[in-house]
Amino acid sequence: MGKNGLVSEIGDGVLECRKLQNFLSGTTEGNMLMNVSWERSGKLLVATVEGRLDTNSVQACENELVAGIGEGDHNVVLDFERLSYINSAGLRVVLKIAKKFSGSDKNFGICSVTGAVKEIFAISGLESSIKMYGSKVEAIGELGND
């Protein structure tokens, strides 16, 4: 690896490209970029969260989620297929959003949880208290027409 940590041997190219992308965007290695994108399927609003949901990105993620969910939205799913990491601060955001959807006419869930993120949900005990869907297709099938 070079002196500045941005150049390395071939084989580490993907990691080094991420470091360069983070360097150019002003983030650090521990603060990989986080992004929220939206799609609507029938009556279901899906927020796809990608990157890392940690102390460095949690406020931006919470702001995006709160701003993106309207008063008329009653069915919301967070798609974590591209989420690479979540910590307790990220879990708190998920719980805050879930609490907003605890009414009888509202539904909340998460889908496509894999790897270390799934393990965090299992260890925290949230796996049993938040509706989890295996895939976005499954969530759309169950909530898209409610």
Considering the entire predicted model, what is its pTM? 0.77
Residue 41 near residue 140, CB atoms below 8 Å = yes
Residue 44, CB half-sphere, CA atoms under 13 Å: how many?
23
Mean predicted confidence (pLDDT) in 107-120 = 95
pLDDT, one tens digit per residue, over 25-83 is 444 444 457 899 999 998 999 999 999 999 999 999 999 999 999 989 999 999 999 99
| pLDDT band at residue 13 under the 50/70/90 scheme | very low
Task: For residues 94 and 132, give the distance between their C-alpha atoms in angstroms, rounded to a whole number.
Answer: 12
Residue 144 near residue 42, CB atoms below 8 Å = yes
Q: In the block, which residue shows the tokens 């895939």?
A: 135
Going from the C-alpha of 144 to that of each of 9, 14, 77, 78, 139, the distances in angstroms are 47, 36, 10, 14, 7
Q: In the block, which residue shows the tokens 């949690």?
A: 58
pLDDT for residue 119? 94
| pLDDT band at residue 146 under the 50/70/90 scheme | low
Question: What does pLDDT average to over the chain?
Answer: 82
Cα four-point dihedral sign 128, 131, 137, 142: positive
Q: In the block, which residue shows the tokens 């297929």?
A: 81
Task: For residues 49 and 79, give the distance between their C-alpha atoms in angstroms, rounded to a whole number.
Answer: 6
pLDDT for residue 143? 87
**Can you name the residues that pair with 108 across neighbouring β-strands?**
76
Query: Quick check: 3 pLDDT over 50?
Result: no
What percentage of the chain reaches a pLDDT higher than 70? 77
Query: Quick check: 117 pLDDT over 90?
Result: yes
CATH number of 35-143: 3.30.750.24
Task: For residues 28 and 111, give the distance between their C-alpha atoms in angstroms, rounded to a whole number.
Answer: 28
Q: Could you state, in order of their start, the residue ranges of all structural domains in the chain?
A: 1-30, 35-143
